Amino acid sequence: MKNMIKTLVDAYESKLLETRHHLHENPELSFQEYKTADYIRENLKNMGIELQEGISGTSTVGILKGSEPGPCIAFRADIDALPVVENNDLPYKSKTPGIMHACGHDTHVACLLTLADVLSSHKELVKGTVKFVFQAAEEKLPGGAKQLCADGVMNDVDFIFGMHSSSGYPLGTVVVSHGVSSAAIGIYEVTVHGKGGHGSSPHECLNPVPVACMVANTLNQIMGEKKSPTESGVFTVSYINGGQYPNIITDDVTLGGNVRTLDNQLILNIFKNIEGVSKGICEGYGLTCDVTTTVGYPATVNTPKYADLIQNAAEEIGYNVIEKPTSLGGEDFAYYVMEKPGAFFHVGMADPERLITSTPHHNGQFILDERGLRIALETEIAVYLKATGQM
């Protein structure tokens, strides 16, 4: 089976790279992936793959049914790029000023389109139904996954897999978590309302600046007080804005930041405390405040059974599998696995000879070793064959 998978990928590798280069040259921002969606849909139709109706916006879902019974398995790729200027000297460099595939989503789409091509051309491998989920807007709240779930994409799915390329792990490495794969993320903002006036007469004013500083300092202690010492989480005060002249006491000060935890309930508890602490401090000094909190993406919790499946499939085709270290990055794949079982994994695409200079995601010099694309495709094929009892 290992040799068969490698032979299959040999036949499709040039098209895999061609697809990735086209997508990298033509990036589009979240919720604006119109040409990308057209490209995906045209390719799926040419493969004879049915498109699911009722899908909102620029997301696309392809459906491939086999002649033999089996589960309905979904694979997901995100399709959006970032507002980043590309600083790489590549023959397929972004042609769109100020926009770049700086997180590898072009490789995700290329791999999933090629997986669809492989399976549609080899229908004897298809047992049951395969859904190819090309999701808009992973990079921008509220994300595309939530809407796809509302559109019913998961209703008939038995389980789902997602892949992410990574410059943080060397070529030949597959990384998977048997528990929490990504964090719950949220943002908050507190606007402290006082009474402005002349800097010479602070007694006639209600200065919001020192009170906002007290709020910020106290909020910074919430995470340490409310989470278990064995849990991971981070609380950040990222900005504080208010006032502009030394002799003017301003009316309002705004501060805010982000919260990240590995527990979906903990982030809600933190938000409740943000409101209570902020209003309590302001009231004590005779001021008021408005507090807004927004839960971004929930934590992605892999189903251990399907994490095991990914690990076994990758090892059987010769790749090194490691347990994913705890990370507080966010990923809206969480919405899918809140509805049905599944697992999310990473494929290392850092050149082993330049690991120390590998550039992180969301950077203008972000680059991947393209030899990793065939590894990702081989792994996706192996996962599918393993999930359908063919391996």
H helix intervals, the chain: 2-25, 34-46, 105-121, 144-150, 208-219, 222-226, 264-284, 304-316, 334-339, 371-387
Q: Coil, helix or strand for 357?
A: helix
- Cα separation, 265 vs 259, whole angstroms: 12
* Count of beta carbons in the 10 Å neighbourhood of residue 338: 17
- Cα separation, 64 vs 381, whole angstroms: 15
- Cα separation, 28 vs 34, whole angstroms: 8
Catalytic residue, candidates 12, 169, 188, 297:
297
- Cα separation, 86 vs 191, whole angstroms: 36
- Cα separation, 373 vs 110, whole angstroms: 8
Q: Exposure of 204 by Cβ count < 10 A (0-12 exposed, 13-18 middle, 19+ buried)?
A: exposed
3-state SS record for 99-121: CECCCCHHHHHHHHHHHHHHHHH
- Cα separation, 218 vs 225, whole angstroms: 11
Q: Coil, helix or strand for 73?
A: strand
Q: Which residues pair with 184 in a beta bridge?
A: 261
Query: Could you tell me which of 379, 386, 385 has the C-alpha nearest to residue 163?
Result: 379
370 assigned to active site: yes
28 assigned to active site: no
* Count of beta carbons in the 10 Å neighbourhood of residue 44: 23
* Count of beta carbons in the 10 Å neighbourhood of residue 341: 15
Contact between 83 and 103 (Cβ < 8 Å): no
Query: Could you tell me which of 291, 292, 274, 282 has the C-alpha nearest to residue 195?
Result: 282
* Count of beta carbons in the 10 Å neighbourhood of residue 196: 16
Q: Which residues are catalytic?
A: 297, 370
